[in-house]
Structure 1
Amino acid sequence: MDYSGSHVLVLGAGLSGIGVAHTLAKLGATVTLNDYKKIDFDPIESQRLAESHIEVITGQQDFVLLDTATRVVVSPGISLEIPIIQEAKKRNIPVVGEVEIAYEVSKAPILGVTGTNGKTTTTSLLAEVLKEAKWDVYVGGNIGYSLSEQALAVPETGVLVAELSSYQLESIDKFRTKGAILLNVTPDHLLRHKTMERYQEAKENIFRNQELGDWTVLNFDSPIVADMAKRVKGHVLGISQERPVTDGAYFENNTCYAVMQGKAVPIITTKDIHIPGSHNIENILSVIALTYALGVDVEDIHQAIAKFHGVAHRLERIRTLHGVTYYNDSKATNTDSTIKALESFTSPLVLIAGGKDKMTDLEEMMELVKTNVKELILIGEAAQRFAEAAVKVGVPHIHRCESMEEAVSLSARIAEDGDVVLLSPACASFDWYARFEDRGDHFRRLVERL
């Protein structure tokens, strides 16, 4: 696509917005980068923006910005319902997200991963398997690297692996994945999407534009996800921990199998897997299914999984002190993710939960807390509602803390030899922290100082 002569308004001056602004400027577009909040860029980034001749306007967001715009690119954190986007649509100015630009500029095929939970682990493992097989792999998207910048850099002989959130997928147009993984869909981000139907629709965009020769991995153990098979245009690969499948991957007798046209091949057993929990078996199966279908050698798949020890902030083991092991699961920003974390341990648990409340139902999580957690420590804006829900189902030992320092200190005092202290908030981080990574890093530093 030729961007020369185009005038693009980029909304949102975070990592995604800055990345796509630079990408478009390199391709000859006239770019305005706008954020309604006042942004103080660091000196290096300010110099980069100036050298790219990107006009930067922050602290205001007026409709006059649309007067010269031929296209609007919206960052994933920005709702499509805000006034300036609605005005752009009234003026028939196309509105897309960064992933659409990434698709337009990428010379290589795109493999996408989405789902309510497990995206980062699965994306990271998928990249490692392909690297083990000597593929030229570039990774971007919701995992912390601008997808459009990675798309511009990846050569035609490479592959672009993308972690994709519902926020990123809701604004696609022609975006297409050669291979897609859809892990699960459970209630999350409903303040943004309003209904589960709209949330699911955004997730399904990952395979919406596929063609007959493309691949989509679906979790057959989830009725919602399994039902999507009838809407997939390409080849469907199923994964299951409950039964064998004809094409895809399944788990049986502590072994993960790849299968194509009914012929199963063992890939790896649990003794060689280093990431705990059935949810991680789900993640592993999805990677096995897609990479085996793409022709990756069985030994390369096995070796990469056997070397993989997880990602930061997702059931990340920090240390063992006085017989107590501390885990950072700050990436658990919804109840379903925390449930999966709780199900991963057999040791007595001291759980630290709470943060920016997403107002999802708490009954299922609190029922599990009642049986699996010996001490519940609540923090952040959600603490009151979480406490009420815990009391309602009969959770016996509930504590409230006003800071992460207080929570970690209390956990160290009440935990006993053999216990696990688990930070798994079931909430966003935005009450106390800018990102879940900041929350997890703070927790880690505090634990390391004990």
Structure 2
Amino acid sequence: MKNTEKYLQKNVLVLGLAKSGSAAANLLHELGANVTVNDQKPIEENEAAKALQQIGIKVVCGGHPIEILDDHFDVIVKNPGIPYTNPLLVRAIERDIPIITEIELAFQISEADFIGITGSNGKTTTTTLLYEFLEKGNRNPLIAGNIGTVACEVAKEATKNNIIVTELSSFQLMGIEKFRPKIGIVLNIFDAHLDYHGTKENYVNAKGQLLVNQEETDYSVINADDLEVMNLGNKSKAKRVLFSTKRILEEGVYVKDNFIYYNQEPVILIDDIALPGKHNLENIMAAISAAKLIGVSNNAIRQVLTIFTGVKHRLQFVDTINGRKFYNDSKATNILATQKAITAFNQSIILLAGGLDRGNEFDDLIPELKSVKSLIIFGQTAPKLERAGRLAGIDSIKYVDNVEHAVKVAYDHSSEGDVILLSPACASWDQYKTFEERGDIFIHAVHKLK
């Protein structure tokens, strides 16, 4: 960890706990800051807040009172999920109090370089795959961010010999000041989290924060098939490295003669890749781009790709029961992710979908739904999905109460050779705390069928 006196005797407010808030509060306390923690959950139910209180950190729980700002904070470290429309944050902005997220704090203390990965879809798969490439290539990677350990905890232990691979959301990237990844990867841009950002322009700008502090000695890995990603890349000072599934490039990563190439050099035959789904080619190519920049050999990359079958809840194969294959894609919390999941299969599909209603319709999903045999729907968005399914010409549409019920109904309406796919196209929060909980319930329900 870098020796820094940046926060010594500074008044710092940590807004919102969960894992990142607790880690940030502990680190700031260690750095000599006067830390106050403010969390929505009442102290009686808040074990994390109690633990911080025991080491002498001031804790205010049960709401976000604006009066707390009277303590004259030098900086606020904000939980990424708390929107900037929160009255306390609105007042803080009016008072010109800097607001950062925990990833900025991690960067400030880290001796190791960062690789930052963002995009609307594919972040977790790309992050995990790149970590595996670097591990196989003996490059001493660490993994952090939305996947793995909180970034500032990883950064505390990292040395100059490490490289920190981080999955980063638009929420996290809005709260950076100097965060500068040695390699920044932008996978794709799709309408997402508009309830948080307000407009797509705001969302795109938040994603672009990944690249804004990069210099000429850094690299930005850019999806050449996504115009908005290309526009973000054009604004970066870093050297661009392009990848494309659609055209052959003079430099970068591309497909030719059923091989993935890097700079005119064949890396792996596509048929040898274990990870299913055409959409995963983008994730694979992005990860290859970064791995090659760091000097990982083609042999190490091939060793990983021939055995890596995916990440839990991301088009995860669960089981085969009486000729029906079950896949858990609970991480598909938007339409684009479900579009990609459906197009990953040539078999007939029974789709399990539904969840939190964020106000959008599902018309963009209709072309893919035309290849779906049966639609099993649940949650707040079930009526909207039924409408889209009818417009797609699906005759078999069934309402169910939840994911567990959906598995039984899907199996009862399936035939040998079918794929039964949980790919909800919606967030989980109307019925489940997380997409992981939703996916775990699906897995358990599949195993119960046996």
1:428 aligns with 2:427: yes
The question of whether the paired residues in 2 share the 8 Å contact of 1:35 and 1:60 is answered with yes
The alignment partner of 2:303 has SS state of: helix
Most deviating of 352-361 and 229-238: 352-361
Alignment map for 1:357-396 (pairs within 5 Å)? 357-370=357-370, 372-396=371-395
The question of whether the paired residues in 2 share the 8 Å contact of 1:217 and 1:248 is answered with no
1:269 aligns with 2:293: no
Alignment map for 1:183-332 (pairs within 5 Å)? 183-259=187-263, 264-332=264-332
* Residue among 19, 26, 29 paired with 2:23: 19
- Name the residue aligned to 1:62: 65
Distance 1:38 1:240, change over 3 A: same
- Name the residue aligned to 2:403: 404
Distance 1:39 1:328, change over 3 A: farther
Most deviating of 65-74 and 357-366: 357-366
How far does the alpha carbon of each residue in 1:241-295 deviate from its partner, in whole angstroms, 9 at most, with x for none? 1112233211122211111xxxx11111123211111211100111111111222
Distance 1:171 1:414, change over 3 A: same
- Name the residue aligned to 2:440: 441
1:100 aligns with 2:79: no
The CA distance in 2 between the partners of 1:46 and 1:57, in whole Å, is: 9
- Name the residue aligned to 1:336: 336
- Name the residue aligned to 1:79: 83
TM-score in terms of structure 1 length: 0.95
The CA distance in 2 between the partners of 1:54 and 1:309, in whole Å, is: 44
- Name the residue aligned to 1:111: 115
1:125 aligns with 2:129: yes
Per the TM alignment, residue 39 of structure 1 is displaced from its structure 2 partner at its CA by 6.1
Which residue identity is paired with 1:67? Answer: D
- Name the residue aligned to 1:418: 417
The CA distance in 2 between the partners of 1:270 and 1:437, in whole Å, is: 30
The question of whether the paired residues in 2 share the 8 Å contact of 1:20 and 1:98 is answered with yes
Per the TM alignment, residue 23 of structure 1 is displaced from its structure 2 partner at its CA by 1.9
Per the TM alignment, residue 40 of structure 1 is displaced from its structure 2 partner at its CA by 5.8
The alignment partner of 1:162 has SS state of: strand
- Name the residue aligned to 2:36: 32
The CA distance in 2 between the partners of 1:82 and 1:289, in whole Å, is: 39
Distance 1:359 1:108, change over 3 A: same
Distance 1:445 1:154, change over 3 A: same
Per the TM alignment, residue 19 of structure 1 is displaced from its structure 2 partner at its CA by 1.9
The question of whether the paired residues in 2 share the 8 Å contact of 1:334 and 1:358 is answered with no
Aligned residue pairs total 444
- Name the residue aligned to 1:53: 56
The CA distance in 1 between the partners of 2:214 and 2:317, in whole Å, is: 38
The CA distance in 2 between the partners of 1:52 and 1:143, in whole Å, is: 27
Per the TM alignment, residue 309 of structure 1 is displaced from its structure 2 partner at its CA by 1.7
The question of whether the paired residues in 1 share the 8 Å contact of 2:362 and 2:384 is answered with no
The CA distance in 1 between the partners of 2:394 and 2:97, in whole Å, is: 53
The alignment partner of 2:325 has SS state of: strand
The CA distance in 2 between the partners of 1:182 and 1:24, in whole Å, is: 30
Per the TM alignment, residue 51 of structure 1 is displaced from its structure 2 partner at its CA by 4.8
The question of whether the paired residues in 1 share the 8 Å contact of 2:12 and 2:74 is answered with yes
The alignment partner of 2:339 has SS state of: helix
Per the TM alignment, residue 147 of structure 1 is displaced from its structure 2 partner at its CA by 1.2
Which residue identity is paired with 2:30? Answer: K
The question of whether the paired residues in 1 share the 8 Å contact of 2:376 and 2:398 is answered with yes
The alignment partner of 2:166 has SS state of: strand
The question of whether the paired residues in 1 share the 8 Å contact of 2:42 and 2:61 is answered with yes
The question of whether the paired residues in 2 share the 8 Å contact of 1:335 and 1:360 is answered with no
The CA distance in 1 between the partners of 2:177 and 2:369, in whole Å, is: 42
TM-score in terms of structure 2 length: 0.95
Most deviating of 193-202 and 394-403: 394-403
The question of whether the paired residues in 2 share the 8 Å contact of 1:19 and 1:148 is answered with yes
Which residue identity is paired with 2:184? Answer: A
Percent identity over paired residues = 39
The CA distance in 2 between the partners of 1:56 and 1:121, in whole Å, is: 37
The CA distance in 1 between the partners of 2:357 and 2:256, in whole Å, is: 37
The CA distance in 2 between the partners of 1:228 and 1:97, in whole Å, is: 22
The CA distance in 1 between the partners of 2:407 and 2:235, in whole Å, is: 47
Gap regions ≥5 residues in structure 1 = none
Which residue identity is paired with 1:314? Answer: R
The alignment partner of 1:67 has SS state of: helix
Most deviating of 344-353 and 68-77: 68-77
Distance 1:280 1:39, change over 3 A: farther
The alignment partner of 2:306 has SS state of: helix
The question of whether the paired residues in 2 share the 8 Å contact of 1:9 and 1:65 is answered with no
Distance 1:393 1:305, change over 3 A: closer
